[in-house]
Amino acid sequence: MASRKSILIVDDMPSNIQLVASELKNDGYAIAVAKNGLDALEQASHKHFDLVLLDIMMPQMDGIEVCRRLKGQPEYKDTPVIFLTAKDEKETLLRGFEVGGVDYVTKPFYGPEVRSRVKAQLRAQEANEILEQAVDDLNRQLLASVQHESQLEQEQNEMARFNRSLLERANTDPLTGLANRYHLTSIAQYEQERSARAETTFSVILADIDHFKEVNDHYGHDCGDKILKGVAQRMQAVVRAQDRIARWGGEEFLVFLPDTVCDGASMLAERLRGAVADTPFSCDGIETPITISLGVNACSTNANLDRCIEQADVALYAAKDQGRNRCVAFEDTREA
């Protein structure tokens, strides 16, 4: 029988701890709590937790430093840390991701979202462990067959196919089939370096499904998942062969466009918007209109990729503020 997953909740507000703990206990987790960073580190030194929910803003030692110290311990190198934050501050969250955080939840908490994000990270952790075990098993089989050259060659071919399959699974979002955030970031960094050598401009488009929470609340999460896959398929059908698209997180998608200036990126963004908005989606026979808002940003060859995406996010928020179902370029937000 599998052991219960253990979760450490770290927050200096008892009411926040109680709210999060009450949600997670329904899923059978073993819950431990800490009211400050030092207490959290002390508990983590005596017991290994499968996941840590960590408040960013705490007195004495903030969540960024707690996460940095946790990740400095070998046994917590792969343990997912989800930040709890009252403010969606991009710079602070980026610092959190840089020291090892994998996700965040904003206050006030929405219970199903907390549970969903925790489950997603624990599933990803289990998948990584399974993959690592599978690779270890395959390597042991390979070593045992060294004395048989023909068998070794056959198993090497099998290992290559298996590793390609593992790599594809590691790089792909399981729901939409698009590249995941990690994979697109790797590709974008390579393309950015190529753009720098060629002295060309690249662009990014950040898209977000409008009112997606209301869709989930009204039609259910099965319908929400169907719409996420449908939006991904429509966007994938529009982007050019050289463009890269990924599920960036939740209901957000990122498109990376090599050798593309702002005007070209804005034209593509408008096509993406129309591909989603022009035809309603169907959930259990009910026609459901869906729209997306998009932020566009063109970046020079020496631009910082993370900064470029942050600026696209600023443009995306501007599109939301202007009524949604529209595209806004970052350069236009600076002129406003």
Residue 94: pLDDT over 50: yes
Please identify every residue annotated as catalytic.
251
Peptide bond preceding 108 in cis form (omega within 30 of 0): yes
Q: Which residues contact 211 (CB under 8 A, 6 or more apart)?
A: 324
Least confident of 77-86, 126-135, 322-331: 126-135
Residue 161: pLDDT over 70: no
pLDDT at position 89, please?
65
pLDDT at position 122, please?
87
User: What mean pLDDT comes out for the span 307-329?
Assistant: 95
Round the average pLDDT of the chain to a whole number and report it.
86
User: What mean pLDDT comes out for the span 193-204?
Assistant: 78
Residue 195: pLDDT over 80: no
Residue 313: pLDDT over 90: yes
Least confident of 21-30, 147-156, 164-173: 147-156
> Each residue of 96-130: b (16+ CB within 10 Å) or e?
beebbbbbbbebeeeeeebbebbebbbebbeeeee
pTM for the whole structure: 0.52
pLDDT at position 67, please?
95
Residue 51: pLDDT over 60: yes
CB atoms within 10 A of CB 132: 12
Residue 143: pLDDT over 80: no
Residue 71: pLDDT over 50: yes
Are the CB atoms for 302 and 186 separated by under 8 Å? no
pLDDT at position 185, please?
82
Higher pLDDT, 281 or 145: 281
Higher pLDDT, 177 or 197: 177
User: pLDDT band at 1, cuts 50/70/90?
Assistant: very low
CB atoms within 10 A of CB 248: 22
User: What mean pLDDT comes out for the span 30-43?
Assistant: 94
DSSP-assigned letter for residue 74: G
Joined tokens for residue 95: 């610092």
